[in-house]
Amino acid sequence: MKENNEDQMLTGAQILMRILKDEGVDTIFGYPGGAVIDIYDELSRTDIRHILVRHEQGAVHAADGYARAKGKTGVCLVTSGPGATNTVTGIASAYMDSIPVVIITGQVPTHLIGNDAFQEVDIVGITRPCTKHNYLVKTAEELAGVLKEAFYIARSGRPGPVLVDIPKNITKAKVPFRMPEEVNLRSYKPTYNPNQKQLQKITGLIAESERPVIFAGGGVVLSKGSNELTELARKAMIPVTTSLMGLGAFPASDPLWLGMIGMHGTYQANMSVGDCDLLLAIGVRFDDRVTGKTDSFAPNAKIVHIDIDPTSIRKTISVSVPVVGDCRLTLDHLNRMLDQKEIGDLHQRREKWLNRIGEWKKSNPLSYQQGDIIKPQYVIDTLFKLTKGQAIITTEVGQNQMWAAQYYHFDRPGHFITSGGLGCMGFGLPAAIGAQVACPDKLVVDIAGDGSIQMNIQEMATAVQYSLPVKIVILNNRYLGMVRQWQELFYGKRYSFTAMEHAPDFVKLAEAYGAVGLRATKPEEVRPVLSEGLASDKTVIMDFMVEREESVYPMVPAEAPITEMLLV
């Protein structure tokens, strides 16, 4: 880091801009207000791009989508009080998915804190459970150091959101400024390099195993370890499954790909984990939607767990070999150690195992029957074929999310952006906006449901204002589909308050925002509507009137082992 040896007299707002520039920030997503008016005044004098969202939740989701697509820390800026509280859902989503975002909130002047002043909330207290760390800046002199620490903490170790709450008087105060030196926090020292003895155990297990499986998660994507993962799988002839967050970490076109694991995972992925003798879990946290009944998860396997966060290891599942370290670095070490180890002909040893997996793939593949009414799977399948798998896909949450995970096949990381841990409805559209800002030359598509898209539909105005050619594919079944599916299967088809009979006309709504609106009501209209919408250089809503009571299969009932799936 460059060090400026000459003190300058700068306001807090000017110091903030200096730090943002030093951190390489080129885009901020935000919404102005009184407590941050001095920051916005200073921001107008910089070349940092500001994207004006229509709701502060959208700002955090957009910064989240930007971070995932760009591979750098996202930034959002909001005012105090309701501006700050509106960010909480977005912060919690980023926290659950380990996404590096710095959230800058305005606060009332320091002398008013605790007096119930206008638009005062204790946002530090509110967000403490759902941030990696947060700060209330108490003096203008400490602002620069706090901001540098915030960016360092957000992106290092297991990434996550960090909030910095800045009182209004601190943004106005003028103090001496010197660019801080390299951040060095005594109490925070993430472990990046793995223990070599533990890695030797893993190479031995790989050489001995007959039925190994790799289970990769979002940690592989975040560490940029996809190439190393693919190298390991091919070198050791180990089939690969991933969590929802791990989609794209391993190419779906590879013969070793099993598909996604878990509640709506593929038959072959769930059965393989159920029968494997070695499970290499890399960058995962063993979410309940993945494991099902935990005491029946991989019951015959020795489990290796590699993760940069030591608190994730053995939290849910007992493991044989724990390894704390960066996923990419650990995989790189493993690959080099395997090159030096006599492991015999793994192709021959794995043949029986891979043949068994092949039989599972044939017996119960993902499938659907397209009839007279549009099947949602057909829409995703056609979208994949038309885009050749090259699009960045964001999703809302629910059935649309699961069908996207099942039928859009991801060959590269950073192309599937979804709220995995929190399962936040309303995520997809603002996340798509963030991804489109990050990658202006790429096609970005939000796969949505008619319920979820309405959670943050106001961000259509943001997309249109900034000429962002985001495409929204709505699988419109006039239900809160995933809840309806559970009501069908487990509550005697008592569809209690899940019907969405009075949804807006999405075509007219798109046009009202100044976007393009298209609709398909018959199967033969699906491909033409998708082709026209994808070819447009404008923001587009494509409304597909799909089979109302179509369900997502396979499905593992709650608390059941993942090998006990409902297949139809």
Known catalytic residue at 56: yes
Task: Report the DSSP beta bridge partners of residue 162.
Answer: 102, 133
Query: Which amino acid does the sequence have at 475?
Result: L
Known catalytic residue at 118: yes
| Span 86-123, pLDDT tens digits | 999 999 999 999 999 999 999 999 999 999 999 999 99
Q: Find the catalytic residue in 8, 70, 119, 538.
A: 119
Which pLDDT does position 501 carry in this prediction?
Answer: 85
Q: How many residues does the chain have?
A: 568
Q: Find the catalytic residue in 118, 208, 315, 511.
A: 118
202 touches 302 (CB < 8 A) = no
**CATH superfamily ID and name for 8-177:** Thiamin diphosphate (ThDP)-binding fold, Pyr/PP domains (3.40.50.970)
Known catalytic residue at 482: yes
Task: Report the DSSP beta bridge partners of residue 279.
Answer: 213, 303
Look-up: residue for tokens 């809503």? Answer: 541
Output phi, psi for 474, to 5 deg: -100, 120
| Span 211-244, pLDDT tens digits | 999 999 999 999 999 999 999 999 999 999 999 9
Which pLDDT does position 568 carry in this prediction?
Answer: 82
Residue intervals of the chain classified under CATH 3.40.50.970 are 8-177, 376-545
| pTM (2 d.p.) | 0.96
Q: Find the catalytic residue in 42, 56, 459, 550.
A: 56
Residue intervals of the chain classified under CATH 3.40.50.1220 are 196-363
**CATH superfamily ID and name for 376-545:** Thiamin diphosphate (ThDP)-binding fold, Pyr/PP domains (3.40.50.970)
Q: How far is CA 402 from CA 42, 87, 114, 244, in A?
A: 43, 26, 45, 9
Which of 154, 144, 134, 150 minimizes the C-alpha distance to 72?
154
Q: How far is CA 366 from CA 361, 377, 409, 507, in A?
A: 9, 10, 12, 31
439 touches 26 (CB < 8 A) = no
239 touches 357 (CB < 8 A) = yes
Contacts 24+ apart (CB under 8 A), 515-520: 515/460, 515/463, 515/464, 515/539, 515/540, 515/541, 516/540, 516/541, 517/541, 517/543, 518/542, 518/543, 519/543, 519/544, 519/545, 520/374, 520/544, 520/545
Mean pLDDT across 151-162: 98
282 touches 220 (CB < 8 A) = yes
Known catalytic residue at 286: no
What is the Cβ-side half-sphere exposure of residue 61, based on CA atoms within 13 angstroms? 33
Known catalytic residue at 168: yes
Q: What is the mean pLDDT of the chain?
A: 96
pLDDT exceeds 50 at position 2 = no
Q: Find the catalytic residue in 260, 263, 455, 482.
A: 482
CA 255, CA 358: separation in Å to the nearest integer?
10
Q: Find the catalytic residue in 72, 132, 168, 375.
A: 168
Second-level CATH architecture of 196-363 = 3-Layer(aba) Sandwich (3.40)
